Structure 1
């Protein structure tokens, strides 16, 4: 089953409860006229933007939506057995909020967010706007999905490979794991890495790969495979059956990483400011046992580092130990 998260917002349109209930009933029976359906979609879009979800990370949002989906399909099947349930997840999510399930369900979901998903479930993130969307995968990899793009990935990776599907453009910061290669499928092109950072821009007939760090292996059934090193670029053309390294260098890193938190270089920065950046990038909450540490200055480069590596580097620089429990991180002086 695929869960879909739509990264877009539409302005608020008010609708009375009685009218809304009638529209919902007709919507589920596929009886709405085009104009009525658009009005309902617009109104529901406003509900979907409820900021109650802002504190959840990608996996938690997906679990919440999955549970809402199940609650809704169970309820609908009891009252409208003849209604087709082949409905987009987003309207279902929005309907849930609208029929007063939202508050109760959200409380239940927050209590049980740490439960493990069934392996094999997938999330589909679609970014139809220009704003970049950050996704943190179960292995710690970070993907910055750019405008007009779609990313499919499993809630939990299984087996020996970590596989995702991309349509559009994204910047990848892949967590290092030599035993579990990371695979990105873009049409007929496969990108394979162990742990590195790179940008992929995929369209109908053309795919561009810009490597920032590490090695990237590219392969296709219709072209000879190649390997890219840092600061190298390749272009894949499906119609011409070509996969070649470009003579020109990759785009400026600042251009490829614009709108992301990829750059984590700090020069004489206050520890407190650095910690805020780490919290934002990795979606964690950091507490410091010794408040005086926050005023210290630090110069370090945490770019393309995992959360664990970043904390280890900070620990070495400031003589700190750390503990991680879920999304909470505690920093304390070494004994």
Structure 2
């Protein structure tokens, strides 16, 4: 595969849907090498007849490389019945300005397991915490992750290839080991977070309507694919910034968050709220203590301010919460009720 003519011939054969599964794997292995990405970019541009500046744009060319990779990976995943995607359809999409849509959440589903999964024996691990449980894990590159209760982290036992990728559902604090040549990517639902070496908190529970990323140190890129027919939206976050994705409105926004340093405490179970809805606070308490906590209607509109240590017994933290919103706590068998509150 060192001969460019051999590569070009194989790529043309692939476009004609004539490649065997072995040849697809061979093509995939070739393009897994970082130094070969420019060759892939040139072949794609030649195939699409790219002459305008948009397709020559570096970021969009990178997205095309990832698109081809993810397609090859998907085809290998569908073996033994290999399904070839017609590149003629890609031409139509490119003409409509849709083909080069960015790597963001689009590749999360198809590219997450990574090219290396098919070339090297990388094992995908899963770490899940139940309610009331927290875990700390150090990945093979030295990255440390504090996993909050009711959360799941999927990660490879070896971080190989061009990207260090993990998948998160729930909440976790990351201290990513610095490696400029191998960006670290976290896939969480429709949201992708990409970094080189930094510390930040991601909150992305399934039931969470507004998942967010809060940056403590370094620079973080957050992107969201709103639909297959739209280009990915991306924001850049610096320290004391928070990115919020409103899933109902389809909006990805950046906001100032001077209290980002509080995330360092949050990873250790000390939660700080500065005007958070009491229902959000109760949901956090429920995850940390593995207990059901109900809010009476009168208290649902209350906003909570204060710092709560989840390492203390629940009767202490609930009493603190009740005092913060002028409410009372009633224990009912296996659950707690927050009664009364700020409206009184």
Structures share fold, TM-score greater than 0.5: no
Task: Give the TM bin, normalised by the shorter chain.
Answer: 0.3 to 0.5
Normalising by structure 1, report the TM-score.
0.41
Structure showing greater radius of gyration is: 2
